[in-house]
Amino acid sequence: MTSDPGTLGGATQPALRTATGTLTVVVLTYRRPHLLAVALPELLDQLSELDAASGIESDLLVIDNDPDESARELVTSVPSTRVRYLTEKRRGIAAARNRALDETADRDLIVFIDDDERARPGWLVRLTETYIDTRPTAVMGRVISDYPDGADPWVVAGDFLRRPSHRTGDTLAIAATNNLLLDRAAVRGLGLRFDETLGLSGGEDNLFTRQLVRRGGRIVWCDEAVLDDEWPTERLQRRWLLHRSFSHGNTAAIVDALMEPPGARRAAVRVRRAAGGAGRVVLGLGRWAVGSVTGDLRHRARGQRGVYRGCGMVSGAIGRVYQEYARREQTT
């Protein structure tokens, strides 16, 4: 890229309309072509919105992590030259994300989105505009998960789908990659890759973004770049969600340990995480008991959630890896 005002590669004007450069939206998918059938037309509309708002050249890359290429027929039938399909046959979401990095090495910006997310109007424009205005290494947008009609009151009371929100421009210490814009040159300069040992457990995005910040990168929030996360009925069951809480605790402890070099510092992190997990289990059991005695559904659900997350933390602290994505494949 040149260093002319208004380009992604050099000094910029704050207005998105003056920006030029290249951007690729990357959709990761695994055996859910029915979701892609809905998402792809919407994402093409997002590219058109960006066309109208800027001079940025954008396209769409679908990476299928299914060796049987279950999404190929659908994606290749889309009547647009802006859509590209690739298969990553190495199992695991981290391998698919690394393939995305490799395939977009010549792009200025990439944006990760999952196949079960629906973009609201203006999503891509707002995400890109925040990048142009603040010039961070990454921009994270908001993901909203709503409970469908008829959802189990226990699930709602447990607040299992709550996600954080911040003010646009706020700096983050960690981010997920299901609504994340990355400056490719900055990521390459920091030497970042996704850890493929976490490909079936999850947590690879948390490790990636924490390493990004530790190496001098910056992540900012965009509250107006909104995706809606669709939750199938089979995942809004108590057993499934409690296992998910266990998984989150497990990966949090593992990622904490991986952030430190092997030896005394990593061992100290494992001890702290084990103690913290045990404490969470005790508190969760207490809250669960109070809820059972008083009939308070929120205390029961939140208490159970705390117990499972605490157990996951202890498990991760002693080095046991829970393969969350292997479990998800069974419910896809």
| 313 and 229 both lie in a single domain | no
Query: What pLDDT sits at residue 235?
Result: 82
Q: Does the pLDDT of residue 89 top 70, yes or no?
A: yes
| 283 and 222 both lie in a single domain | no
Q: What is the mean pLDDT of residues 57-70?
A: 96
Place of tokens 């107006």: 224
2 CB burial (10 A radius; 0-12, 13-18, 19+): exposed
| 33 and 97 both lie in a single domain | yes
Q: Does the pLDDT of residue 24 top 50, yes or no?
A: yes
Partners of residue 141 on adjacent β-strands: 222
Q: What is the mean pLDDT of residues 92-104?
A: 96
1 lies in a domain?
no
d(CA 71, CA 62): 9
Domains held by the chain: number? 2
Query: What pLDDT sits at residue 3?
Result: 33
Q: What is the mean pLDDT of the chain?
A: 91
97 lies in a domain?
yes
| Backbone phi and psi for residue 221, each to the nearest 5 degrees, phi listed first | -100, 145
**The token pair that represents 112 in the structure block:** 């990760």
289 lies in a domain?
yes
CATH number of the domain encompassing residue 74: 3.90.550.60
Q: Which of these three, 235, 252, 279, is where a domain ends? A: 235
11 lies in a domain?
no
| 110 and 246 both lie in a single domain | no
8 lies in a domain?
no
In this structure, how many other beta carbons lie within 10 angstroms of the beta carbon of residue 267? 12
Query: What pLDDT sits at residue 13?
Result: 43
Q: Which of these three, 202, 235, 268, is where a domain ends? A: 235
285 lies in a domain?
yes
- Band the pLDDT of 88: cuts 50, 70, 90: very high
The more confidently predicted of residues 148 and 26 is 26
Q: Residue 324: which domain range?
A: 238-329
Query: What pLDDT sits at residue 83?
Result: 97
Query: What pLDDT sits at residue 1?
Result: 38
68-80 burial: b if 16+ Cβ within 10 Å, else e: eebbbebbeebee
| 99 and 182 both lie in a single domain | yes
5 lies in a domain?
no
| 213 and 313 both lie in a single domain | no
- Band the pLDDT of 245: cuts 50, 70, 90: very high
Query: What pLDDT sits at residue 148?
Result: 81
pLDDT in tens, 212-233: 999 999 999 999 999 999 887 7
pLDDT in tens, 1-17: 333 434 554 434 456 88
10 lies in a domain?
no
Q: What is the mean pLDDT of residues 261-265?
A: 95
Query: What pLDDT sits at residue 7?
Result: 53
| 115 and 230 both lie in a single domain | yes
Q: Which of these three, 204, 235, 266, is where a domain ends? A: 235
| 218 and 277 both lie in a single domain | no
What is residue 159's three-state secondary structure? coil
Query: What pLDDT sits at residue 10?
Result: 42
- Give the number of C-alpha atoms closer than 13 A to the C-alpha of residue 188, restricted to the C-beta side: 14
145 CB burial (10 A radius; 0-12, 13-18, 19+): middle
| 101 and 212 both lie in a single domain | yes
Query: What pLDDT sits at residue 163?
Result: 87
DSSP state, residue 324: H
Q: What is the mean pLDDT of residues 260-288?
A: 96
**The token pair that represents 38 in the structure block:** 């809905």
The Cα-based distances of 195 to 94, 204, 273 in angstroms read 6, 6, 21
Query: What pLDDT sits at residue 325?
Result: 64
Query: What pLDDT sits at residue 201?
Result: 84
